[in-house]
A and B are shown apart, each in its own frame.
Chain A
Amino acid sequence: QWATIRLQKGAKKPQPQMPRTPTANGIIERDETPMEKEIALLHRADFEFSHIFYFCRKGFEAIVEDEVTQRFSSEELLSWNLLTRTNVNFHYISLRLTIVWVIGVIVRYCFLLPLRFTLAAIGITSMIVGTTVVGQLPNSSVKNYLSEVVHLTCSRIIVRALSGTIRYHNKENRPQKGGICVANHTSPIDAIILTNDGCYAMVGQVHGGLMGIIQRATVKACPHVWFERSEIKDRHLVTKRLREHVADKSKLPILIFPEGTCINNTSVMMFKKGSFEIGGTIYPVAIKYDPQFGDAFWNSSKYNIVSYLLRIMTSWAIVCNVWYLPPMVRKDNEDAVQFANRVRSAIARQGGLTELPWDGGLKRAKVKDTFKEEQQKNYSKMLVRNGSVG
């Protein structure tokens, strides 16, 4: 059951990954019979004492294993990849395996980590310096060209620093200027993975510290859209600024992650409709990481950014597939929510992820009462329809 995987040390070219169907990694058999079918199966159609069995079982199934909370923690692997962090039920198997693991630890921490750290430092410094220098130039096509060069080069250095191996598929669908690029969100690295292959205008909140320095430097060279914290709350302001950016066809495509939060790369959760109200062409992109080499998911409630980066830099590698999907435009007869769902389905299908109708915000917030009310409504409809009431 615990198949030891002998990774070629420093493997940079693994086999091409085909998008796989979501593995049934669940621990219990879920009975998916819908409420109507199960309750109406009983020979009489009015209320029965046994109706509670349906809700009862569903409740207990959710307690043992639910679809949502598992997405906010790292995916469990079927076979171990020699990182203790991915081995939830750690227990001693054999001496040989332990020795292999110890060698792995030494390699990762003493050899790979310093190397990667140095590279990352070089990459970030050149990004800051390069964009500041380019930022001094007056606006011209030369500036844009140089800005692109700087961004691409530094991005590539940083990806090397993470031992990233990325396969881009369908490059002909790469996002064009004046468009909006939309992708599923797993980690802060997603942005770097994408900028490795093209230039985007980033959208995000202004941070302090090192991130803030990077943001201030890069925005001089290239029109990224950074919002102050107070501005983010004002949805209209945000939409307006993004609309202006998109309307200018000479500007780089915006990069947006509509889930709003990091999900563990096994599923795609609800897309916030804001990005889909801006108009313009949407270029969906699906990003799927291979969990065998390292876990890219950032569990922000468990780890802060520094320990997250440390974990990334001590994994074997970051291996992922990026699929550029054909551009989509909102149809006349669909609203923003339907459009968002359509784009989401396309991304989920391509990346082999499950689609969940739940909001990523459930990571921190409670679920809305409207969902419970909907269940109650459905049940009531059955009672009133079938039985002779009153």
Chain B
Amino acid sequence: SVSHSQITRLYSRFTSLDKGENGTLSREDFQRIPELAINPLGDRIINAFFPDGEDQVNFRGFMRTLAHFRPIEDNEKSKDQNGPEPLNSRSNKLHFAFRLYDLDKDDKISRDELLQVLRMMVGVNISDEQLGSIADRTIQEADQDGDSAISFAEFVKVLEKVDVEQKMSIRFLH
């Protein structure tokens, strides 16, 4: 699991972001990070820290969300076959990404939900029509059961060749 020094550093980071000094972070605290504020998916990422519709996240919640990004090789050290699947398993990383698309949490990515994410990523630079056909094509290629929406299983299948572990991991230097 996470080392002591990593926890200390992350706690240090948490407190430096916590301008209100009340032990929790609000959405504004995240938006103060310039590199995050200019990220097209910034708002969705920030939302991931507030899963239950609350406005504040404490350090525990902060760590829980960050835990999805631990490199998978960390799990080699603590093989616990009987315990719950660790947050940073390939499957859970994929689930995390799936939830970034699936706003209404119905376990399906609908055409609208896909369009929303696409629109966030391209801004004003692509017309509705073009974007619509991109979305249609993407769904068509991944949709296997013909319901014009992407379930989690279909999502996983599309990404089976992608190195999720590498793309969705953050490595600590010490």
Binding site for B on A (CB under 8 A): 24, 26-29, 42, 46-69, 73, 88-89, 358, 362, 366-367, 371-377, 379-381, 383-384, 387, 389-390
Contact = CB atoms under 8 A, between A and B. Distances in A.
Contacts of A376: 40, 121-125
B49 to A, nearest CB: 8
Contacts of A374: 38
- What is the interface residue range for chain B against chain A? 35 or more
A65 B34 contact: no
Contact of B33 (A29, A53, A69, A380): A69
B72 interface: no
B165 to A, nearest CB: 11
9 contacts: A28-B170, A28-B172, A46-B134, A66-B34, A366-B32, A375-B40, A384-B130, A389-B133, A390-B129
Interface string B136-174: 011000100000001000010011001010011111111
Interface centre among B41, B69, B162, B170 (most CB of A within 10 A): B170
Given A64-B170, A374-B38, 11 more contacts: A24-B173, A42-B162, A46-B137, A57-B167, A60-B45, A60-B69, A366-B31, A372-B40, A373-B123, A376-B125, A380-B123
Given A52-B100, A372-B39, A65 B13 contact: yes
B125 A57 contact: no
B33 A377 contact: no
A356 to B, nearest CB: 10
B170 A379 contact: no
Interface string B8-21: 11101100110000
B162 A29 contact: no
B38 A372 contact: yes
A54 B167 contact: yes
A63 B167 contact: no
A75 to B, nearest CB: 13
Contacts of A59: 36, 39, 41-42, 45
Nearest to A373: B123
Contacts of B97: 49, 52-53, 56
Nearest to A50: B162
Interface centre among B16, B130, B167, B172 (most CB of A within 10 A): B167
The 5 closest A-B pairs by CB, nearest first: A376-B123, A380-B125, A62-B35, A59-B45, A371-B38
B99 to A, nearest CB: 11
B103 interface: no
B66 interface: yes
A47 B169 CA distance: 22
From B69, B100, B133, residue with most partner A Cβ within 10 Å: B69
A69 B122 CA distance: 27
Contact of A53 (B122, B137, B164): B164
Given A27-B174, A383-B126, A52 B117 contact: yes
Contact of A384 (B101, B126, B169, B170): B126
Given A46-B137, A59-B39, A380 B126 contact: yes
User: Taking each of A65, A73, A366, which has the highest tally of chain B beta carbons within 10 Å of its own beta carbon?
Assistant: A65
A59 B42 CA distance: 7
B173 A66 contact: no
Contact of A28 (B31, B142, B162, B173): B173
A302 to B, nearest CB: 11
A357 to B, nearest CB: 11
A66 B17 CA distance: 11
A389 B130 CA distance: 6
A42 to B, nearest CB: 7
Nearest to A384: B126
Contact of B35 (A24, A28, A67, A390): A67
B41 A55 contact: yes
A385 to B, nearest CB: 12
Nearest to A24: B173
